[in-house]
A and B are shown apart, each in its own frame.
Chain A
Amino acid sequence: MVNLTIDDKQVTAPKTATIYEAAKLNGINIPILCHDSKLKPFGACRMCLVEVEQMKGRQIPACTTPVTEGMIIRTSTPDIVKARKMVLELLLLNHPIDCPVCDKGGDCDLQNLTYEYQVSANRFTDEKFQHEIDYNNPLIERDMNRCVLCGKCARICDEVVSFGALTFIDRGIETKIGCEFEGALNCEFCGSCVSVCPVGSLLARPFKFKARFWALTKQKSVCGYCGTGCNLTLGVQDNKVLTTIYDAEQGFHKGLLCARGRFGYQFINNDKRLTKPMVRKDGALREASWDEALQFVAGRLKGGNVAALSTARLTNEEFVLFKDLMKLAGSASYDHSAGYAHSALTKGLSRSFGVAASTATILDIQKSDLLLVIKTDAYETHPVVGFEINQAVKNKGVKLSILSDKRGKLGKLPGAKTLVHAPGTEIALLNAITKVILDEKLTAGTAASVAGFAELERALSDFTPEAVAGQTGIDAASIVQFARDYASAEKALIIFPTGLAYPGHNADLASAAANLAILTGKLGTEGSGVLCMAEKNNSQGAVDMGFYPANGGKDAGQILEDCASGSVKTLFVAGENPLVSYPDRSKVSAALDKVDCLIVSDLFLSETAAMADVVLPACSFAEKEGTFTSVDRRVQYFKPAIKKVGLSKSDFEIFSVLINLLGGQAPASPAAAFADIAASAPGYAGMSYAKLGEEGAFAPVDVKPALVAPAVVRPTVEQGKLALLVGSVLYHCGTLSQYGEGPMYVCPEGYVEISRADAAAHKVSEGDLLTVTSSTGSTQLKARISPRLPAGVVFAPYHFEAAQVNTIWSGAAVTWVTVGK
């Protein structure tokens, strides 16, 4: 820490701080246009000029000047005020005064500073810019006439998002922010540039002209899409969520959001929302009263032979109630698709760590020395985690090793090493890496004493790099080097995702990854461990609340089999859309057809809800209170931003009424339910809504490591066919994002991504309609030719109903398909 004087006030600041940061830390405001805490200092706007006594009264930019011991700084002398006024006058020379029509009006840094410094006239004259405004884009409007050239948009796109869509072009007074070759914006549409723009140059088109900033009610919340647990501020007017508002101080991610978080909120007020309960009568779903619908449901639940499937988007409190309801109905068969997707957590990590949770947190990413990323492009599955990885690699020099079946954006980061393996061979590859660590004695001193060490050594005897090389398509030397890199890093963090449609992301993958961490002792310390990133916003909460098969209960796959065989008569589906998201569509369809009574609670009349006997309109996260648990067990409280849409009820209310109708006793409120959770769920002890506050709290993980030999399935290779990978695409998360206008503007339909080599071999051009056929069925998808896929591999996102990808994807580790026009 250094001591300095700012405006006659004795303060201290870290040695690495700039004058601007030191002042801010000590509650002294220095005006600035070009600064954001996530970006490197730039010194472009000249608003933050200050005087340093030791520099003979020269005016210097506070944002780029580091503090030194004994500095005496003045931030607002008459000379400084005069200089700042002139800076504003010069900026306003070209900046149009169109505040009444500019959506940034009321939230504009330039407007606020103009008001603060009373710049009501201008001593200079010049012409306003006449740049063409870019309206081409459905999400981001670019009006460079308003630009003050702070460069924040270009810098965040480069430094944080790592896309680099925007840059300074031309020179001198001709300088402007533009895209390559002055073309239209063509990027990921995360909206980070929009969020940091201090003026109205970059605007969110979905919010364009909808309301003024000052008229919005700002409600803090937690994003309802993926499991990263990003914080949101929802902008609400007239009971409608109109936008998401950037708050640079919010959450661990400091206000950063991805495309779906920033632009995918429209599903909340979508016109297609269910507003009244419906009961099937004479073969058709007809509107009914809540009383009628719930009495009917309670009657069916009392009848026995009940099972339940849930989305992982319910709150923790709702999961507890849903579980209680199933117990009252005499059923232990309930799952949040864990049988398909989250066995990596529930089975894999719990047998390796003794706890069904990640041992590391997202905050560890920037504290690590090496990140081992398995089968994911975090930029696609959990984009804000991708930003964290990017910042770790670029700013902190963290090394990045990637094992994946396709290349991704992460692999383009500086120094990233990517091993692209054949689909379905990831566990064999991890085993080979483990074997190298064992053979070369790269293990930690205590590794040999961990339970299962000898068994693992025996089980891996055949997994020499040479033996695995042929199977995985990666040469032995690379495998050995990969193992040495991981083992030699002082701190190393393993990251892998789990999701409903990610084949191969199962218990054995989790154990194979866990073995690496346990053997090398990279566990339980800062910057080390395993981070398993579950797909949905409360997947970890569902696991923590025990909403997965246990004590003889059946998992999602078995439940559907029982429905098909007739042993399950009543199936309660809460928020899930298995007809689209589960593998093997014909099997799911047959099971849902066969079941006597299908009860669905959902926001929309999804494809599954359309088959139901009773449809209960549920609430979105913006209309209820509760807690979500992120992938790193950060428990976060959120409360309603708007009133419930129509007659919809939260799942908490639905389950409460049903529990009471079945003779049970439901907690009086979500707070009471959370008090029960705090008393019973491991790691949640001592938590309450009041204590969680806006920051949330981590549920600690108590690890008891054990080495487990993962089972390896050797996928059969079908010559002449292509391996189909299924998973998430950047703009979407589950099937919910289909109802968000933002994601659908950018990625409106399913497609099949094919390598250049295969496209040439099959004479496929971009946009061709391809018939993709597997052993289970066939569907038609538009072709996208991509350089990131290796030859012999195709990829299709699973989110879209119309694409029906699950007709060709059976859930196997590798699905072999043929493509034809």
Chain B
Amino acid sequence: MNPITPIINGLKITLSHMFKKPITLQYPDERPKVASRFRGLHALNVSHNKAKCVACYLCPTVCPAKCITVEAAEDANHDKYAAKYEIDMLRCIFCGYCVEACPVDAVRMTTTFELANYRREDFVFGKERLLEKK
């Protein structure tokens, strides 16, 4: 093969890109379309105006990163609820085991991926921050 040919072929490719629309996402001006099963920030599902979580402790039990802290308490009707539900996002590996283990469909993972922060404590998501916002 003529040694010049590959160079010309390469230049052709380069030249063709000059006339194509760029595929780079101009984040943050442009937002990505995230797949619905993307494993981003967790959310606590709500039912009848309260968190569905019954504080069964299965999510902290299966969590391989040990990033979930649950504390159960008894409400006025003697029912069990999660007085504290906390996820340390600095430890979380977004494996989704917590969602799989949940027997009452109380926790899910959202498409929220923008979790950057300036302070370590801001990475700790408590119950209020995790509750499904309606």
Contacts and interface: CB of A to CB of B under 8 A. Distances in A.
B80 A209 contact: yes
B92 interface: no
Interface in B55-106: 55-58, 60-61, 72-74, 78-80, 103-104
A208 B56 contact: no
Interface in A194-239: 208-212, 214-215
A212 B57 contact: yes
Given A100-B54, A100-B104, A209-B55, A135 B78 contact: yes
Contact of A101 (B56, B60, B61): B56
A248 interface: no
B78 A105 contact: no
Contact of B56 (A100, A133, A135, A210): A100
A464 to B, nearest CB: 64
Contacts of B56: 99-101, 105, 212
Nearest to B104: A100
B69 to A, nearest CB: 10
Contacts of B78: 133, 135
A214 B61 contact: yes
Q: Could you say which of B72, B103, B104 has the most chain A C-beta atoms within 10 Å of its C-beta?
A: B72
B74 A215 contact: no
A211 B57 contact: yes
B58 A100 contact: yes
B95 to A, nearest CB: 19
Contacts of A99: 56, 103
A101 B79 contact: yes
Nearest to B81: A209
Contacts of A212: 56-57, 61
Contacts of B103: 99-100
Given A100-B103, A101-B79, A101-B80, A208 B54 contact: no
A489 B54 CA distance: 60
Interface range on chain A (Cβ under 8 Å from partner): 10 to 19
Contacts of B80: 101, 209
Contacts of B58: 100
A208 B74 contact: yes
Interface string A427-464: 00000000000000000000000000000000000000
B54 A210 contact: no
Nearest to A143: B78
Given A100-B56, A101-B54, A209 B61 contact: no
A532 B60 CA distance: 50
Interface residues of B, number: 15
Q: Could you say which of A100, A135, A210, A214 has the most chain B C-beta atoms within 10 Å of its C-beta?
A: A100
A215 B61 contact: yes
Contacts, number: 30
A206 to B, nearest CB: 12
A133 B74 CA distance: 14
B61 to A, nearest CB: 7
A212 B60 CA distance: 11
Contacts of A100: 54, 56, 58, 103-104
Nearest to B56: A100
A172 B56 CA distance: 34
A212 B58 CA distance: 9
Q: Could you say which of A105, A133, A212 has the most chain B C-beta atoms within 10 Å of its C-beta?
A: A212
B104 A209 contact: no
Contacts of A215: 57, 60-61
Contacts of A211: 57
A237 to B, nearest CB: 10
A339 to B, nearest CB: 48
A331 B56 CA distance: 58
A135 B79 CA distance: 11
A601 B54 CA distance: 43
Nearest to A205: B74
B81 to A, nearest CB: 9
B71 to A, nearest CB: 9
B56 to A, nearest CB: 3
Contacts of B72: 209-210
Contacts of A214: 61
A210 B78 CA distance: 14
Contacts of B104: 100
A333 B78 CA distance: 55
A100 B103 CA distance: 7
B121 to A, nearest CB: 20
Contacts of B55: 101, 209
A747 to B, nearest CB: 24
Nearest to B78: A135
Interface string B36-60: 0000000000000000001111101
A484 B88 CA distance: 75
A480 to B, nearest CB: 59
Interface string A88-119: 00000000000111000100000000000000
A214 B57 CA distance: 10
Contacts of B73: 209
B48 to A, nearest CB: 16
A753 to B, nearest CB: 34
Contacts of B60: 215
Interface in B113-127: none
A56 B5 CA distance: 93
Closest 3 CB pairs of A and B: A100-B56, A209-B72, A101-B80
Interface of B: 54-58, 60-61, 72-74, 78-80, 103-104
Given A212-B56, A214-B61, 16 more contacts: A99-B56, A100-B56, A100-B58, A100-B104, A101-B56, A101-B79, A101-B80, A105-B56, A133-B78, A208-B74, A209-B72, A209-B74, A211-B57, A212-B57, A215-B57, A215-B60
13 contacts: A100-B103, A100-B104, A101-B54, A101-B79, A133-B78, A209-B72, A209-B74, A209-B80, A212-B56, A212-B61, A214-B61, A215-B57, A215-B60
